[in-house]
Amino acid sequence: MKNEQKQSIAAELNEICKKASQYKIAKRLGISPGTISQIINHKWEMIADDMWRKLQVNLRIDFGWNTADTKNFKMLQNLMKNAQEQSISVAISHNAGAGKSHSYKYYERSMDNVVYLECKSYWTRKIYLKSLCKASGLEDKGAVDELVERFITHLRSLHKPLVIIDQLDKLNDAALDLFMDFYNDLDRYCGFLVSGVPALKKRILRGCQFDKTGYKEFYSRIGKTFIYLDDVAEKDVAMICLANGVDDQDFINHSFHLCEGDLRKIRREIDKYFLIRKRMA
C-alpha cells in the first residue's frame, strides 16, 4: 500500500477517535486499541499491509473516488440530518444502484453519534443484534436480551444518535420485529433511518394487509410513508464524471444512457475509461 494511502487511513482513524474512545473504535473495526494507537502516532514499522487493507475496508475508504453532490445525495444528507436532529424515524424504499448506501456511509463517517449497519440475508435475530453492537463499538457477546439492553443503553448515553439500518428488507421477521422495541425504548431520543429496495415497501404493506404481527406497528412508526429518490438525471452523471476527472461530454452522454439509473455502472465505466487511456499511453 502506498504511503499516501496509509496517511489517509491514519487521518481517518484520528478523526473518528475524536468522536469515540479508541476501545470502541477498535471493537467496531475488529482490531486492537494498541494498533490504533500505533497508527495515529505514525509508528507504522510493525503494521502489516494486510492490516492496512483491513482498515481500508472497515473504514469504507475508497481511494481514488470522489463523491459528487448529486440531487439525491444532497437530499439524503439533509434527510438524515433532520432525522438525527429531530429524533424521528424515516424509511426509504428505492431501486438498488441509486447511491443510497454510499450516501449513508458518507454521513456516518462525517457526523457524530451515527450507527450504520448493512444487513445480510443470512442473519438470524442474534447475529443482527451482535452486528448492531459491533457497529456501535460494543461487546457482541451474550444472550439476546443482554445484547438488546446493551445496544439501547448505549444509544441512551449519546446526544441525538441516528441509527441507519440499510438493506432492511433482507432481515427475517424475527429480526425486523426488533425495530419496534428499539423505537419504543428510544422514542424522542434517537432517530432511525431504515432503507431497502422496493421489495421493502411491498413486504410491509403486504404484512399490514394480512395483519401479520408487528407490521402495522412498524408502518405506524415510520409515519406510514416511504420516501422515494429522484430518477438519475444526466446532470447527476455529469457531476459524478467531473468529480472523478472525466470531462468528455460524449462519454458522459454514453454513460447516462447506458447506466439505466444504476450509478454503479457509472463507476465501472469511469474505471474502464481510465484503464483504456492508461493502455493507450
- Do 137 and 195 share a structural domain? yes
Sorted by sequence, the CB contacts under 8 Å of residue 74 that are 6+ apart come out as none
Supply φ then ψ for residue 251, to 5 degrees: -65, -40
Domain coverage including residue 240: 234-280
Q: Please indicate, yes or no, if residue 63 is contained in any of the structural domains.
A: no
**pLDDT digits 0-9 by tens, 203-217:** 999 999 999 988 999
| % of the chain with per-residue pLDDT over 90 | 83
Assign 3-state DSSP to the chain and report helix, strand, coil percentages, each to 5: 60, 10, 35
Q: Please indicate, yes or no, if residue 228 is contained in any of the structural domains.
A: no
- Residue 260: its pLDDT value, please? 92
- Residue 281: its pLDDT value, please? 65
* CATH number for the domain that contains residue 108: 3.40.50.300
Measure the CA–CA gap between 154 and 189, rounded to whole angstroms.
12
- Do 110 and 78 share a structural domain? yes
- Do 119 and 27 share a structural domain? no
- Do 79 and 25 share a structural domain? no
Q: Which of 188, 197, 206, 191 is nearest to 114 (CA)?
A: 191
Model pTM? 0.92
- Do 238 and 185 share a structural domain? no
Q: Please indicate, yes or no, if residue 65 is contained in any of the structural domains.
A: no
